[in-house]
Amino acid sequence: MYGKSPARVLPLLLGLQLTALCPTAAVEIYTSGALEAVNGTDVRLKCTFSSFAPVGDALTVTWNFRPRDGGPEQFVFYYHTDPFSPMSGRFKDRVVWDGNPGRYDVSIILWKLQFDDNGTYTCQVKNPPDVDGLVGSIRLSVVHTVPFSEIFFLAVAIGSACAVMIIVVIAVVLFQHFRKKRWAKRADKNEGIKSTEEEKLKQENKVSIYLEDTD
């Protein structure tokens, strides 16, 4: 019995050494962290992940909710090959799948936001054999109106600059048009004056010829 013990222990030690040299990678979750949305609108809770294992039918996704004012954790959504929406509770008929596991996207959409939807939404992904890792979270704040952001002011600045450029171009085009028109009128006026002087000169020549013939 004791003579066989080394043979049994050796594979175990070898396995422990390989585990130490090649530790199992964990699923990494990526979310926005914090999100604001207007009451009554729809919001996309984005959650993506990375995994060392290929994505297959064993992939599972679990979404849960913790209210901001406290209370027990509530089920929001579950995915395993097919999406499973809650059959009862506050999120019934309000959550739809908007993910694509092939692209490592396990996002959902929450419809018709309410103020009591304020809280933390957690996204957990397991992709066997890669089942370890931290749970992603999104802190959702439902507000009356979304405050102006830097992107909004940047868009306004760009729009204003474009409007000014368009006005300048139009002004230059109109200036060129009226200047050409004025030059054309001036040229016509000069041509008219020249024609009148030539006609007058012809008349004077005719009178001179007539007087010479009379003499």
Q: Which two tokens stand for residue 50?
A: 């990375």
Pick the last residue of a domain from 143, 161, 183.
143
Answer with the residue of higher pLDDT: 202 or 47.
47
Structural domain span for residue 73: 28-143
Cα distance between residue 75 and residue 64, in whole Å = 5
pLDDT at residue 44 is higher than 60? yes
pLDDT at residue 63 is higher than 50? yes
Q: Are residues 106 and 70 in the same domain?
A: yes
Residues 6+ apart with CB under 8 A from 91: 65, 74, 75, 76, 77, 85, 110
Query: Mean per-residue pLDDT for 143-151?
Result: 67
Mean pLDDT is highest, among 1-10, 70-79, 141-150, for 70-79
Q: Are residues 114 and 188 in the same domain?
A: no
Q: Are residues 48 and 103 in the same domain?
A: yes
In a domain, 15, yes or no: no
Q: Are residues 124 and 176 in the same domain?
A: no
Cα distance between residue 138 and residue 48, in whole Å = 12
Pick the last residue of a domain from 126, 143, 160.
143
Query: Per the structure, how many domains does the chain have?
Result: 2
pLDDT at residue 147 is higher than 80? no
Considering only 30-34, 91-95, 148-152, which range has the smallest mean pLDDT? Answer: 148-152
* pLDDT attached to residue 15: 39
Q: Are residues 178 and 72 in the same domain?
A: no
Helix (H) or strand (E) holding 73: none
pLDDT at residue 16 is higher than 90? no
Cα distance between residue 77 and residue 58, in whole Å = 17
In a domain, 36, yes or no: yes
Q: Are residues 58 and 160 in the same domain?
A: no
Query: Mean per-residue pLDDT for 94-103?
Result: 94
Grouping H, G, I as helix, E, B as strand and the rest as coil, residue 60 is strand
Q: Are residues 134 and 34 in the same domain?
A: yes
pLDDT at residue 10 is higher than 70? no
Pick the last residue of a domain from 99, 116, 143.
143
